[in-house]
Amino acid sequence: MIKTIIKASLACLLLFGVAQAESFKVRDIVLQGLERISPGTVFTYLPVKVGDTFSSADSAQVIKELYKTELFSDISLGQDGDILIVVLQERPGIASLNIIGNKDIADEQLIESLSDIGIAPGRVLNRSVLGRLENELLQQYFSRGKYSVQIKTEMTELSRNRVDIEIQIAEGEAAEIRGVNIVGNQVYKDKELKKSFESGTKPWWKPLSDNEKYSKQRLQADLEKLRSKYLNSGYLNFNVASTQVSISQDKKDIFITVNVDEGNQYTIKEIKLAGNFVVAKEDLEAQLLIASGQFFARSEVVASAEGIKNRLSQDGYAFARVNPVPDVNEEDKSVVLTFFIDPGKRVYVRRINITGNDYSRDEVYRREFRQMEGGWFSQTAIETSRRRVQRLAFVESVEFETMRIPGADDMVDIEVVVSERLAGSFTIGAGLSDSQGAVITTSLSQDNFLGSGKSVSFSINTSKVNTVYDLSYNDPYYTIDGVNRGYGFSYISVDAEEADISDFNTDEISLRTNYGIPLTEDDRVGATAEVAHTKVTTGTDTSDEIYEFMQDNGSKFTNINVSGNITHDSRNRRIFGTEGFYQRARVELAVPMSGLEYYKIDYKNIFLYPITDIFTLSTRSQVGYGDSYGDTTDLPFFQKYRAGGSSSVRGYRANSLGPRDSKDRAYGGNLLTTAGVELFFPVPALADSKNFRLGLFSDIGNVYKDVDEWEASELRGSYGLELNMITGLGGISLSFAGTYNDEPDDKTESFQFEFGTSF
């Protein structure tokens, strides 16, 4: 470009000549040669205007400024009296950019990388960039191990000084890694160092892995794992000296050599805290994850520094700096580690802004916040707020971001971005069995009625087994302190024979109200009072046990039932949770002088533990016991516990486990014991989806007539695979199960599904 400017400048000097050395006042400027570029664009960059005095000495500056625009391939100046003539030759414009033959890298990714170097439709073509174009694409493919790639660029000239660019790519086969060799390691064997590598030969037990595919980014990640292993084992001066990636002549095989310098292993001799202790020193020392006498471990040092910063943030020091500095003694290979603490200023929260709540009112989220506007910043309060919002049934995800305020180093704003899922759901519950065929139930519920956070549901069930009409309402914030209150009305008619259990019918009408009181962030107590009228009728195949109960206790009952529960819930979310603990203890009592006098006690827990970023271990268990008191002879048969089905012990027909009556039908029992363990993980093809997951499970459980009849040998078991989905119709659960320890007369089902489940 410089040569072109010099050449054009010399031409101008010759054009103007010695006779034109004297300056003249420009009366007009004429532009020649423009096709696509507007004159206004040229005049914007032209450093001379009408009315200016111009001489040949100014021509070099004019040409230089116009060349800097990169719009022109040639520029010359002329003079006609007091008119300045600018002759321009435009560079062609790129009309279209077509890429063909690419499979490994998407069009969008290639187009974006080319745009970064100036190749894109609508831009001016600089032919000197074409070499960079091919080089950029080659680097893209080389980083993926495709060293035999061939790239050809063709340009087609069009009218109005435009061109089409077509890039033809023959990707070829990716070279495969045939070996990774580590040189210089004495402490650890190659096998141990490479077991966490994602670059290398394909393990026989992972036939679908792509470890053998070379990727520069993947290799860098492997080298960082290598560094971490040594730095976390006391090798403070470990270094990857060099890395060589060699390729065979046929460009099909890759060999990687990593040269390492292990250095010496260092032990922590002493740990000190220094700086401004705005929080008690003992509280900060409690955050340390390392101790004297241990080998130096970088991960524990970093985690300790983060722990100190988090502790300081609880008291408002949001931007504290903690700098761990090791003082190395080479003689005894020890380290004195000092954490220098600068808490900075105490930071207050000016505003909390919520976005993404297109349906819900602000107050629905603000009442879950434990970080208050005007209060000092607390990371613990932020995390608690995030967890509480995430547990709302109508929230898919939530992010809290701390924003500094320009000019105010002691104040921040909190930006809360929520993503809401469908707050209402149309729920369908379905199942298949030999005795029932298809069973369908429907309900319409709104967990976030009119964006208020209140829940309203109306369900209708007209299957062969149940006829249910239920209307319920719950206000989770009946008081500002989080006391909830709800009401409900229901009519339930049950034809138990159609469910393949004992032959009886019940018709029940009930009114209820419930309250819940928070004790802590994770603990609540609740109480429910219900008035219910129940009528029992027999069928053609009613068992002796039911006739005996009705003879002793009657067939119509008006009960006042009260129940209380205490619940602990620290799960990070209600739907598809990945960590936390849920447990509930509940007592139900039909009060004295009711038509029936009985009680039921049960306990349920769920434990979620994240094994890795994608695998979550879940365990659950439930124990329930009920009995009668007063004049009632036994726990009513329609209140007995039953087990089996997709929400209990999968692989066994719903309600089929436990004691059987004189007609060899499921009768239920007074004691329930179930448990299960499950490993959840994403669906491979939908790894980034938040609405799908798979689970490998094992369930165990049974129902017993009474406590003294419990036997471990009678527990029924199952194992299998489950698929969970969240859809506009609610949750869907599909399970494929096999059974063990089952008896010949057990009713098993290898496939079960449920619509409307809450997981």
Q: What is the pLDDT of residues 413-428, one digit of tens each?
A: 999 999 887 655 555 5
Q: Which of 247-256, 533-542, 564-573, 696-705 has the lowest mean pLDDT?
A: 247-256
Can you tell me the mean pLDDT for 57-82?
87
Query: Given this model, what pLDDT does residue 5 score?
Result: 44
Could you tell me which residue, 572 or 566, shows the higher pLDDT? 566
CB 493 within 8 A of CB 475: no
Four-CA torsion 102, 104, 106, 107, nearest 10 degrees = -20
Percentage of the chain beyond pLDDT 90 is 44
Query: Given this model, what pLDDT does residue 437 score?
Result: 41
Long-range Cβ contacts of 517-522 (<8 Å, 24+ apart): 517/483, 518/481, 518/482, 518/483, 521/370, 521/384, 521/388, 522/568, 522/569, 522/570
Query: Given this model, what pLDDT does residue 445 score?
Result: 66
Radius of gyration of the chain, Cα coordinates, nearest whole angstrom: 38
Query: What CA–CA distance (Å, rounded) separates 192 from 198?
Result: 13
Taking 60 as the threshold, does the pLDDT of residue 11 lie above it? no
**Amino acid (1-letter code) at residue 73:** S
Query: Given this model, what pLDDT does residue 115 score?
Result: 81
CB 560 within 8 A of CB 518: no
Instruction: Determine the distance from the C-alpha atom of residue 255 to the mean position of all C-alpha atoms in its chain, rounded to a whole number.
Output: 36
Query: What CA–CA distance (Å, rounded) separates 177 from 183?
Result: 17
Taking 60 as the threshold, does the pLDDT of residue 13 lie above it? no
Using 50, 70 and 90 to split pLDDT, how confident is the model at 356?
Answer: confident
Taking 70 as the threshold, does the pLDDT of residue 394 lie above it? yes
Checking DSSP bridges between strand 348-355 and strand 408-420, what pairing results, if any? Answer: parallel
* 3 state SS of 542: coil
Percent helix, percent strand, percent coil in the chain, to nearest 5: 20, 45, 35
Angle of CA points 268, 270, 274, to nearest 5°:
125
Query: What CA–CA distance (Å, rounded) separates 741 from 646?
Result: 18
Give the number of C-alpha atoms closer than 13 A to the C-alpha of residue 419, restricted to the C-beta side: 5
CB 589 within 8 A of CB 565: no
- Nearest one of 2, 114, 8 to 60, comparing CA atoms: 8
DSSP code string of 575-612: SS--SEEEEEEEEEEE-TTSSS-EEEEEEEEEEEEESS
Query: What CA–CA distance (Å, rounded) separates 441 from 459?
Result: 8
Specify the pTM.
0.62
Taking 50 as the threshold, does the pLDDT of residue 474 lie above it? yes
DSSP state of 641: B
Could you tell me which residue, 517 or 218, shows the higher pLDDT? 517
Using 50, 70 and 90 to split pLDDT, how confident is the model at 325?
Answer: very high
Query: Given this model, what pLDDT does residue 756 score?
Result: 55
CB 502 within 8 A of CB 666: yes
Mean of per-residue pLDDT scores for the chain: 85
Taking 70 as the threshold, does the pLDDT of residue 515 lie above it? yes
**Amino acid (1-letter code) at residue 714:** E
Chain segment 16-43, per-residue pLDDT in tens: 443 344 688 889 999 988 887 888 888 8
Q: 22-31, 150-159, 423-432, 622-631 — which one is most confidently predicted on average? A: 622-631
Query: Given this model, what pLDDT does residue 435 score?
Result: 33
Taking 60 as the threshold, does the pLDDT of residue 507 lie above it? yes
Query: Which residue shows structure tokens 């997981």?
Result: 759
Taking 80 as the threshold, does the pLDDT of residue 344 lie above it? yes
Instruction: Determine the distance from the C-alpha atom of residue 142 to the mean position of all C-alpha atoms in its chain, rounded to a whole number.
Output: 31
Query: Given this model, what pLDDT does residue 604 score?
Result: 96
Query: Given this model, what pLDDT does residue 689 score?
Result: 67
Query: Given this model, what pLDDT does residue 755 score?
Result: 63
Taking 70 as the threshold, does the pLDDT of residue 541 lie above it? yes
Query: Given this model, what pLDDT does residue 576 score?
Result: 85
Question: Which residues, 6 or more positions from 401, have their beta carbon under 8 angstroms from its beta carbon?
Answer: 414, 415, 416, 417
Query: Given this model, what pLDDT does residue 288 score?
Result: 93
Taking 80 as the threshold, does the pLDDT of residue 460 lie above it? no
Judged on CB neighbours under 10 Å (0-12, 13-18, 19+), 745 is exposed
Can you tell me the mean pLDDT for 329-345?
93
Query: What CA–CA distance (Å, rounded) separates 561 from 606?
Result: 27
Query: Given this model, what pLDDT does residue 20 score?
Result: 44
CB 420 within 8 A of CB 356: yes
* 3 state SS of 669: strand
Taking 80 as the threshold, does the pLDDT of residue 513 lie above it? yes
Query: Given this model, what pLDDT does residue 205 score?
Result: 58
Domains of the chain: 2-90 (3.10.20.310), 93-170 (3.10.20.310), 176-261 (3.10.20.310), 267-342 (3.10.20.310), 348-420 (3.10.20.310), 424-757 (2.40.160.50)
Query: Given this model, what pLDDT does residue 360 score?
Result: 82
